Structure 1
Amino acid sequence: MERWLALELASTIRHDGDGGVADDLATVDGVSRWLDDQQGLLPAPFRTVDLTADEDLRLALTELRRAVRALFARAVSPAPPSPADAGRLMPAGQALAHLNAVAAREPVRPQLDWPQEGEPAARLLTEPGDPRTALTAALARAAIDFLGGPRREQLRACTAPRCVRYFVKSHGRQEWCKASCGNRARAARHYKRHHAAD
């Protein structure tokens, strides 16, 4: 299954398995675990940097996530947003401004590499600076790339009971983010049908 860094950030708000909502970024330790889990998705410089999470980074990531989830809600509209934060979404204009401001905190310049015997490849060069600023800027750019790209059209909020995730629809009939959500939705429909007559 393909993964996107912006979707992984948004998915740090998730169903906890007991009918509630869990926040993977609620603690500094949670941020550290999440960053470790994202090593394969993070831009190359962050795969080798030993980035120690702290409260400032945690707050920056949770505010960026809040903006990303608000823009995801806008992207899935007119369908309903994730129920986890539907009642307290950051206004879309504020979310957009925040996302762009965070992305701009680190100067980048595009560079084209084209070896004599190979294919051209574009990459972004950044000026070395504070790794926490660079990380949040990279995450914001990942969200901009996702929301500005073709995958935005397949973005959905999972409609399974108690699920709060967004997902990218990979085939025409997909309604849920994962099989267990589909099972939960079918069980809920079955229960409702059989207990409606009571």
Structure 2
Amino acid sequence: MERWAALELASTIRHDGEGGVTDELATTQGLEDWIARHRALLDDHVPAYGGTVDEDLRLRVVEVRRAVRALFARAVSPARPSPPDAHRLMPADRAVAHLNATAALVPVVPRLDWPPEGPPVTRLSATRDDPHPVLLAALARAAVDFLGGPQRDRLRACTAPRCVRYFVKGHGRQEWCRPACGNRARAARHYDRHHRTRGTQSGT
């Protein structure tokens, strides 16, 4: 399955497996671990982040995520958005402005790499060395690329019970982000039908 950095960032708010919601970016260590796992995705937008993670950076990344999730909610409308933050989303115009401003923190230029053996490759090269703006710009550029691309029209909020993920619809009949969510949703529907039927029978 194709992966997108913006989708992975939005998914740092997730179901905890026990009926609640957890935030992978609640601590600086959580952000550091997340960056390490997704470095290759981020490198597609601005070259590698090599700095340390502090609380200021964590808060700024969370603000980028707020903008991303607000615009994801707009993208899936009129369907319902992912529920954890649906009641307190950043206004869409503010979210757009925040992503654009953050993406512009680090100007980038294309750079040609052509090894002695093999084809030439074009890579993005950051024009600043400060690692914090580099990371923030990478996240914002990933979101701009995602929301401005064709995958936006296939974005959905998973409707399975307890799931809070967004996903990109891979085929026409896909309703849930993962097979496990589909199994849970079908079980919940069966349970509801069974109890409605019993309630109707007991009321006659």
Equivalent residue pairs, number: 196
Residues 108-147 of structure 1 mapped to structure 2, 5 A cutoff = 108-111=108-111, 121-147=121-147
CA 1:119–1:151: 2 relative to 1, 3 Å: farther
What residue is the counterpart of 1:15 in the other structure? 15
Q: Which sits farther off after the overlay, 180-189 or 108-117?
A: 108-117
CA 1:116–1:54: 2 relative to 1, 3 Å: closer
Cα distance in 2 for partners of 1:111, 1:38 equals 22
Structure showing greater radius of gyration is: 2
What residue is the counterpart of 1:154 in the other structure? 154
Residues 34-73 of structure 1 mapped to structure 2, 5 A cutoff = 34-43=34-43, 45-46=47-48, 49=50, 51-73=51-73
SS of the residue corresponding to residue 46 of structure 1 reads coil
The yes-or-no answer on 1:95 pairing with 2:95 is yes
Cα distance in 2 for partners of 1:77, 1:114 equals 44
The one-letter amino acid paired with 2:180 is S
Kept in 1, the 8 Å contact 2:160–2:184? The answer is yes
What's the offset of the Cα at 1:121? 4.9
What's the offset of the Cα at 1:110? 3.6
SS of the residue corresponding to residue 22 of structure 1 reads strand
Residues 20-31 of structure 1 mapped to structure 2, 5 A cutoff = 20-31=20-31
What's the offset of the Cα at 1:116? 11
Structure 1-normalised TM-score?
0.91
What's the offset of the Cα at 1:125? 2.3
Identity of aligned residues (%): 68
Cα distance in 1 for partners of 2:126, 2:195 equals 60
Structure 2-normalised TM-score?
0.89
Cα distance in 2 for partners of 1:167, 1:20 equals 19
What's the offset of the Cα at 1:163? 0.9
Deviations 1:33-76 (A, max 9, x none): 111111232207326x3x32110111011000000000111111
Kept in 1, the 8 Å contact 2:107–2:128? The answer is no
SS of the residue corresponding to residue 175 of structure 1 reads coil
Q: Name structure 2 gaps, 5 residues minimum.
A: 200-204
Deviations 1:135-154 (A, max 9, x none): 01011001100111111111
The one-letter amino acid paired with 1:163 is C
Cα distance in 2 for partners of 1:150, 1:110 equals 23
Q: Name structure 1 gaps, 5 residues minimum.
A: none
What residue is the counterpart of 1:191 in the other structure? 191
The yes-or-no answer on 1:178 pairing with 2:178 is yes
What residue is the counterpart of 1:4 in the other structure? 4
Task: Report the aligned-residue RMSD.
Answer: 2.0
SS of the residue corresponding to residue 83 of structure 2 reads coil
Q: Which sits farther off after the overlay, 32-41 or 98-107?
A: 32-41
What's the offset of the Cα at 1:89? 0.7
Cα distance in 1 for partners of 2:123, 2:111 equals 5
SS of the residue corresponding to residue 161 of structure 1 reads coil
What residue is the counterpart of 2:106 in the other structure? 106
Cα distance in 2 for partners of 1:129, 1:15 equals 36
Cα distance in 2 for partners of 1:182, 1:191 equals 14
